[in-house]
A and B are shown apart, each in its own frame.
Chain A
């Protein structure tokens, strides 16, 4: 069964350091999402890609976060410098395509990267 792959699964870093997370979506999925899930909260969308283009990055803290999906396949999310408040689970999801008129497009989630900033 096809799955969204993420690495690393766990990352511990000190504040002010740089961290990067990688996501490989399900093959053929054009849309890729990065969510952040703080402990005890639901996931919140950080950035959405359609192929290699950013569709929505309105909730991405652009002073320290960046995301790219250069070839429209896998994606990297970077934080530099990391802050204590960035400790969270970073989830990647993918879906087959963008909006379908009158239809539903399921988002499939990866296992996440749990980040701890000390």
Chain B
């Protein structure tokens, strides 16, 4: 079993839809939870990070962490064609800078 599991999709939605992306993990020592967005032929860019459990909102994006279930989510409201990209969850412990990534979910938002 991999430390971080993410459904690789792909996922195709119409413009304006609410998108839900999820990851599960097995390492209870993970404390920092990140979502990265990666456009084709580019490096990942940080969208949001959350420390420990809870919710965090930034514009159309909401990140949720449930440490009791070892489950994290990213919600995208009013999705736009420019949101089309691969979304990667990543996690790390408090004692290491090493990021452990999920496989990434390829999202396409159709106009």
Which A residues lie at the B interface, using CB under 8 A? 4, 31, 33, 40-45, 48, 55-56, 91, 93, 95, 98-99, 104-112, 114
Contacts and interface: CB of A to CB of B under 8 A. Distances in A.
Interface residue range, chain B: 20 to 34
B99 interface: yes
Contacts of A110: 43
A41 B102 CA distance: 7
B42 A111 contact: yes
Nearest to B4: A42
Contacts of A45: 98-99
Given A107-B99, A109-B45, 18 more contacts: A4-B43, A41-B103, A42-B104, A43-B44, A43-B88, A43-B99, A43-B101, A44-B101, A48-B97, A91-B44, A98-B97, A105-B97, A106-B49, A107-B97, A109-B44, A110-B43, A111-B43, A112-B43
Contacts, number: 58
Contacts of A56: 96-98
B59 interface: no
B64 interface: no
A42 B6 contact: yes
Contacts of B111: none
Contacts of B8: 40
Contacts of B90: 42
Contacts of B44: 43, 91, 109
B46 A106 contact: yes
B104 A41 contact: yes
A66 B1 CA distance: 29
